[in-house]
Structure 1
């Protein structure tokens, strides 16, 4: 070897090896900084997207969880013009126990959430006719719901949702329903935060398509492999200078999308003339909190899913009757926290129920009273009264209700004599001088009549609004398991998961039984939405490995 060639090799070694090493370390650092989900996406470029159907809280939770678990992409299909579903309307809060926000020093460590949920499930869990396998299945779902509730709260708080205020709702033995201290209702706060995080953190892998109605689950050899959905576009043709005479045509296009599917389309409470009339004809004519859209349960049934508890429909005892439009079919919910923070219910000026009983029990007591026919609806004339303490504790909600005209302010001295006497008696109960004849033992932030022990102050302002029972939640839906897999088997039978299909939220059945505890609807969306998203992401990645 010549001297010149030896010098050249030495020179290249001195110059190029360090450069190569630097480039290598930079490349390693760059890959490391991408994070787990990006590496998974790079490693399995042929993986299909996770398809989420329904953009309420369950769908958003599933989408976020799927992306965090490494899904290469998530396609979120929502049939409505905007995301949020009925979740965005949720006003009472989300349950969790035990959490850092609960006052353990005052109430003790919360170990009764499972017991309260089991008790609330009623005969569908406890009747002697219930098979042991069915009971075990339901209890397993409840264990997952309650056991993961604290981590669900942590998940949302870590994303930036304020859930620092804790209230006790009807049917609960301790305060465990979390909401924020600000004026934004918890449903809107959670939905907005999740949407923003999806867009900020996963903009390159997350797509939300509104106005996209899924019409079919695609199956191959009993496996769900994707969806068919349709979109509608409107085109305006200018035919004249008169804008009113221009022609508008609509075009409906059918699309197909392949990948594992998470179904989160919600219940059928607003499907008045469809599934609700089919399963609960006795509830015909009641107003609802839900938008009037058809239930999507038939899509799951067509893919082999079994349905359970479809006759189990929750009537919320307090939907506001708007004085400006008393016959409106869709009504605003009078949030359960209004009663939790001390509000009372009156009929002709007198209390008639423990306001902190379960929704089912309170609704039953209201519906024993004489009803009215208004605008084709069956409604009741019950007054909700909030004293200054309860109104202050629920200020974020109360301000909105006052603005909408659903609540009005009036002074104690301007109330009728029967109502004034009722508040006087109630103040004595709150002070501990007498026992409540209806069994109420928690009074929230009620403070009217507590100073000096002389009864309600004449110039104090209370908030009053008319409320009526409304269709609010459907406990029935697709049979599923603790892994959020939709089952082609009856509850309690040997499980037959439908490959490629998961579900979460109100579309599922089996958790709540006869009655859902307030605050557990948002919770089940987060708990089982996260499980479903992670499971679907793993399936997508596995499918990518198989090509």
Structure 2
């Protein structure tokens, strides 16, 4: 479609372009596929489309790639017998699928959940084929429910972004930074045919997408006002999302007839409480930590689903708890987590002491209670029987080697589980379940994959699996 045709669309009224004045004096670019969002979902989509020979443009709102992926824990769930069997871990795709449905309270779209689980190993192999490296063991992140989390060699989400961006550059994906989606274009057949963008200089850019537009801009976890609008119980929560994950693209999709589902479903993790900004992540490895309230007592098993952990924290006195680890636990964490803990000691978000009694005094809980809590927990580890029901396979490490560490754990918004409705081909759907032609979506911007609760390690998995699907299906022009 040439510039003249774009301008004609711009004068056709709001059903075609919600801001027709934007096309005046706008520069235009042609592509086969346009991807909105440069996190792991968007990069996966861009790479997959480019691998099919498509001319791809990727649009990123920030000045660099990564989004929430860059600051994520990096844990990636996948059934992988090659790694699991030598560790004595029995797993299967069916078990993974059933756990995902059960954790999501069966509010998941079962077709989407099945694709994600059964493509988990293929997605690992796809990433590894591009140079992605994981540790040769698996573990269980908080809320993961089973030891199948792959841990990248590089800390946090760096490995995913470096691997996929390198492949994107190699395949000739064209990148636009500091550029936001303003609207979508439709052709005279009602198909989404392009994107209207605005750069940091205020200038408008129109990009034709002959095969499709893929929305991969994330959810709205960085917009706490929007979170509270859909889930008022979280009005005092903090967020670990980057500010740019703010929901604008969701609103644009809705304007073009895309259904939004499950917008009240918000996943939270232990994090910094209101008024603080440094998040202490001692909770990332379930066998390594215990969670205690302001009385120094455990109040929920640490391997509980994330929605149960969220609700327990919401009901804890003052909505404050503490994650407790020993020195061996601290040393097992990534360099970034260790760095934040040290900074946290200086800022008052983390605490360290050679004795449990000293630690209790620092976090202002009854010393006798904390000491008894840890002694009882350690006995449960030795007997493989926990008083709160933590599964025996997670009872691996006693908390006994000083110094002892504590991190403040309040309610932090981690991800939003609602978003645009998609089918198994990642095509966006209307309220009537009709396809919005030419428009695809992948990653956290979508609904239906996780239901009411996202299993730990499934966020990045979802993004890669469905980013790849979106890129391939957009390339087909379905």
Residue 444 of structure 1: how far off its partner (Å): 5.8
Residue 290 of structure 1: how far off its partner (Å): 1.4
Task: Note if 1:117 corresponds to 2:117.
Answer: no
User: Deviation digits for residues 497-538 of structure 1, max 9, x if unmatched?
Assistant: 222111100111111111111111101100000011111222
Question: What TM-score results when the alignment is normalised by the length of structure 1?
Answer: 0.74
Task: Note if 1:297 corresponds to 2:246.
Answer: no
User: Deviation digits for residues 459-517 of structure 1, max 9, x if unmatched?
Assistant: x2222211111111111111101111111244xxxx42222111100111111111111
Question: What TM-score results when the alignment is normalised by the length of structure 2?
Answer: 0.84
259-268 or 425-434: bigger deviation: 425-434
Task: Note if 1:464 corresponds to 2:406.
Answer: yes
Gaps of 5+ in 1: 1-45, 126-137, 234-251, 372-379, 449-455, 543-547
Q: 2:275 aligns with which of 324, 327, 346?
A: 327
The answer to whether the Cα contact below 8 Å between 1:92 and 1:337 also exists between their aligned partners in 2 is no
Distance in 2 (CA, whole Å) between partners of 1:473 and 1:284 is 15
What's the secondary structure of 1:101's corresponding residue?
A: helix
Distance in 1 (CA, whole Å) between partners of 2:123 and 2:282 is 21
RMSD: 2.3
Task: Note if 1:477 corresponds to 2:477.
Answer: no
Partner of 1:196: 166
Partner of 1:497: 435
The answer to whether the Cα contact below 8 Å between 2:220 and 2:416 also exists between their aligned partners in 1 is yes
Partner of 1:11: none
Partner of 1:243: none
Partner of 1:410: 353
User: Deviation digits for residues 159-202 of structure 1, max 9, x if unmatched?
Assistant: 2222223112344443111113x4x3241221122112222x22
The answer to whether the Cα contact below 8 Å between 1:116 and 1:172 also exists between their aligned partners in 2 is no
Q: In the superposition, relative to structure 1, how do residues 150 and 422 fare at CA in structure 2: closer, same or farther (>3 Å)?
A: same
Q: In the superposition, relative to structure 1, how do residues 266 and 395 fare at CA in structure 2: closer, same or farther (>3 Å)?
A: closer
Partner of 1:85: 67
The answer to whether the Cα contact below 8 Å between 1:225 and 1:500 also exists between their aligned partners in 2 is yes
Distance in 1 (CA, whole Å) between partners of 2:470 and 2:99 is 25
User: Deviation digits for residues 363-408 of structure 1, max 9, x if unmatched?
Assistant: 211221222xxxxxxxx33111112332233243432322432544
The answer to whether the Cα contact below 8 Å between 2:322 and 2:409 also exists between their aligned partners in 1 is yes
The answer to whether the Cα contact below 8 Å between 1:120 and 1:515 also exists between their aligned partners in 2 is yes
Partner of 2:181: 214
Task: Note if 1:229 corresponds to 2:193.
Answer: no
Partner of 1:313: 266
Gaps of 5+ in 2: 1-28, 360-366
| Larger-gyration structure (1/2) | 1
Q: In the superposition, relative to structure 1, how do residues 333 and 388 fare at CA in structure 2: closer, same or farther (>3 Å)?
A: closer
Equivalenced residue count is 430
Partner of 1:364: 311
Runs of 4+ off more than 6 Å: none
Correspondences of 1:106-145 after superposition (within 5 Å): 106-111=88-93, 112-122=95-105, 124=107, 138-145=109-116
The answer to whether the Cα contact below 8 Å between 1:287 and 1:331 also exists between their aligned partners in 2 is no
